[in-house]
Structure 1
Amino acid sequence: MKSILSYVSILMLVIVLAACRDSNSEPEAGENEEGEPTELVISTWGFAEDFFREEVFAPFEEEHNVKIVLDTGNNAERMSRIEQGSSNVDLIYLSDYYAQQGIETGLFETIDRSNIPNLEDIYDLALAPNGEDYGPAYTIAQFGIAYDPERTDVEISSWEDLWSTELEKDITIPGITTTSGPMFLDAASRVAGNSTFNEDDAFEQLGELNPNIVTEYEGTSELVNMFVQGEISAGPIMEMFFADVKESVPSAEFISPEEGGYAVINTINVVKGTENKEVAEEFINWILGEEVQEAAAVAKIDSPVNTTLDLTEEEAEGLTYGSDVIESLISLDMSYVNENNDEWIDRWNREFVQ
């Protein structure tokens, strides 16, 4: 009987020690305390979701023991949910314009760049569009001009060409509240002869453009419809959306203006208060890697920022691709834009509403 009791005592001691050891062990990155996959909530626009699920999210989930949940909507909607505390987002995709607003309102964690080694392989313009403490750009597109040479005798190669008197009531421009609105305002300043932004000259130049404008557009679909219906011959557009114009108007061309196109920068940031910062930084590193960048480029989803890609001419068609193109782009100071945008909107509405 004594030996049986001794055996039972030893067995109980082993069980207790094992329980203590398990309770004191830390869960590994990519799993919670129960060993289940970590839930990583990513806020994004929601376009091309099938592609991202298959080519980006699923491989990351498998490799890092993560379950990705999406929070979708436009920039403003998704930012508002975070500000109101009505979402549990870990990572957020935003244009650099909205990312700057998030930084200024304290919505993001600073990142540890040593956890993102793929930063070594991306363009300088993509490294720190909103400052070294915050997220990189995972794609850079171009804001240029779409035009249909079969509808006009004007050969468009520059921003200045949009001011041609031969284009009277034949173009559209983005509204000032759109992402590209401040870019076009800067283009107007450059057409006026300024190398740095001059607000008065920009608005005066827009006044001179007024006779050529059919209407302003707030969404790219409006611009596409105007091309399809033959209402316009030209209009500024982000290159990423030009395929929609080309599909409906095969004769249309995308022009990178002689003065320079504008960098359309989309970023990814870690949200303040996340419990998954390490995994979030692993995801940022993942989407900057050659494999994901190439898949997105070949599928015509996003223009790549990874400099190690070697795309064929066919693969690169329609993309903002190559160091020569990237280095030619004009990049706005989004801190300056946010500081002045309310004033520009007010002045636009007073002087220039279409």
Structure 2
Amino acid sequence: MTARNILALGAMSLLVLGTGSALAQQKTLTISVYGIAQDAYKAALYDPFEAQCGCKVVVESGTASERLAKLEVNASAPAVDVIAFSDANALEAANKGLLAPIDPAKVPNLADIYDFAKDPLGNKMGVGYTFYGTSIVYRSDLVKIESWLDLFKPELAGQVALPNITGTQGPITLFMLQKAIGKDDPKFADAIDLVAEHKNDVVTFYNSGSQLTQLLQQEEVIASVTGRFSWPSLMKLDMPIAWAAPKEGQTGGMNVLALVKGAKDPELAHQFINYWLSAEVQQKLAEGLVDSPVNTKVTLPEDKAEGLTYGAESAKAINFLPPAQQLENRDAWLSGWNSKVAN
């Protein structure tokens, strides 16, 4: 072997070693999210973040209960860095010591999001990345809805669907009914009594948005409670369906991003949370009708805005059910519902 060949071989070895070293040093961020709209998230969020950070994003998905259980099992050696949860699920995880505080100084995009989303759990344990409104949808040619109590008007008997207590829409419906009744009771006793009184007038206590769409389409119901995320599919129905603006306001929910306690790379986790909250990412997800934006710099045309909970006015109209109240009272709600409504 000539000296030239030896040198060439040495250079090639160094190149291979250098490549292997670079691959070994590539950072990995593992996130836990809901399984919906993952293709849209990949295009708008995961791939651009990977290009920006030179890292790899590993996605784990599943239901909230599955992912919370997994977080508990791996508490001593967490496999996840960032988790996306409902506000109540995130507070439950925080109360169990599974989350770490977010450092606002490392998330500058916090300055551009709605105030209610900046620290919804308290103690900087999470930040809202999307929210939605919940109200009453109804056949505007057949009935008029001005209050949450209108769901129980005599002319609506046998033509109303309500969400089941076990879904996300059930408790917040009781929250607004209790508010409309005018009695402050975190256990929603009056609201549960009201539903129980009229339970035979309710066509069904639905468990999924697809059920509601079918019921409206088949004209089995003319009014129901639903989240804004169902609105795009309802708008496609060839019938006059309106979104109510009850005098008591609307309710809704919020999803949050949280930093897992013991995350392998908290710096990279903060970068990812900050990127998700950016106007650029929030704009793309909103345009795809994936998430209603919390970033106030997002601007949408009317056709896109109609399918989301969008804008300061819509945000201001929402009465959020505090996550602490959800955790403290959900057993009482379920017990009251099972004994009076589901029996």
Cα offset for 1:156?
1.7
1:61-210 residue pairs with structure 2 within 5 A? 61-85=50-74, 88-150=79-141, 153-194=142-183, 197=186, 199-210=188-199
Task: State the partner residue of 1:325.
Answer: 314
Kept in 1, the 8 Å contact 2:189–2:336? The answer is no
Q: Which residue of 2 aligns with 1:278?
A: 267
Shift of 1:63: 0.6
Maintained 8 Å contact 2:30/2:58:
yes
Contact 1:188–1:206, Cα closer than 8 Å, also in 2: no
- Comparing 186-195 and 111-120, the one that deviates more: 186-195
Give the 3-state SS of the residue equivalent to 2:146 in structure 1: coil
Q: Identity of counterpart residues, as a percentage?
A: 33
The answer to whether the 8 A contact 2:187-2:332 is kept is: no
Is this contact kept in 2: 1:261–1:329, CA < 8 A?
Answer: yes
Whether the 8 Å contact between 2:186 and 2:325 is mirrored in structure 1 is no
For 1:195 and 1:347, how far apart are their aligned partners in 2?
16
**C-alpha distance in 1 between matches for 2:234 and 2:91:** 30
Match of 1:10 in 2: none
Letter in 1 for 2:166: T
What are structure 1's unaligned runs of at least 5 residues? 1-31
Q: Is the 8 A contact 2:187 2:329 kept in 1?
A: no
How far apart are residue 209 of structure 1 and its match? 3.1
Q: CA RMSD for the aligned pairs?
A: 2.0
SS in structure 2 at match of 1:147: strand
Q: Which residue is equivalent to 2:205?
A: 216
Instruction: Give CA-to-partner distance per residue, 1:223-258, whole Å, 9 cap, x none.
Output: 222222322111110101221222245432222322
Paired with 1:253 and 1:199, the residues of 2 have a C-alpha distance of: 27
Spell out, residue by residue over 1:169-219, the C-alpha distance to the aligned partner (whole angstroms, 9 max, x if none).
111111112112211111221222236646332222222332331111122
- Give the Cα–Cα distance (whole angstroms) in 1 for the partners of residues 27 and 239 of structure 2: 46
Structure 2 Cα separation of the partners of residues 250 and 74 of structure 1: 33
Are the aligned partners of 1:192 and 1:205 in contact in 2 as well (CA < 8 Å)?
no
| SS of residue in 1 equivalent to 2:335 | helix
Matched, 1:41 2:30: yes
TM-score, structure 1 as length reference: 0.85
Tell me which moved more, 80-89 or 276-285: 80-89
The answer as to whether partners of 1:141 and 1:265 remain within 8 angstroms in 2 is yes
* Cα distance in 1 for residues equivalent to 2:131 and 2:245: 14
1:95-143: per-residue Cα shift (whole Å, max 9, x none)? 1121121111111111111100000011011111111321110111101
Aligned equivalents of 1:123, 1:230: Cα separation in 2 = 38
> Would you say how many aligned residue pairs link Structure 1 and Structure 2?
321
Q: In the TM superposition, what whole-angstrom CA distance separates every residue of 1:320-344 from its partner, at most 9, and x where no partner exists?
A: 1111221121011211221111121
TM-score scaled to structure 2, two decimals?
A: 0.88
Amino acid at match of 2:315: I
1:236-251 equivalences in 2 (<5 Å): 236-251=225-240
Flag structure 2 segments of 5+ consecutive residues without an equivalent: 1-20
Mapped partners of 1:84, 1:250: distance in 2: 49
Please identify the structure whose Cα radius of gyration is greater. Answer: 1
- Cα 1:275–1:259 shift into 2, 3 Å: same
| Deviates most, 155-164 or 308-317 | 308-317
Give 3-state SS (helix, strand or coil) of 1:42's partner: strand
CA shift, 1:158, in A, is 2.5
* Structure 2 residue aligned with 1:17: none
1:54 is aligned, of 43, 63, 66, to 43
Considering Cα pairs closer than 8 Å and 6+ residues apart, tell me whether 1 or 2 has the greater RCO: 2
Q: Is contact 1:191-1:205 (8 Å) kept?
A: no
* Paired position in structure 1 for 2:335: 346
Measured in 2, the distance between the counterparts of 1:189 and 1:33 equals 59
Task: Give the letter aligned to residue 215 of structure 2.
Answer: M
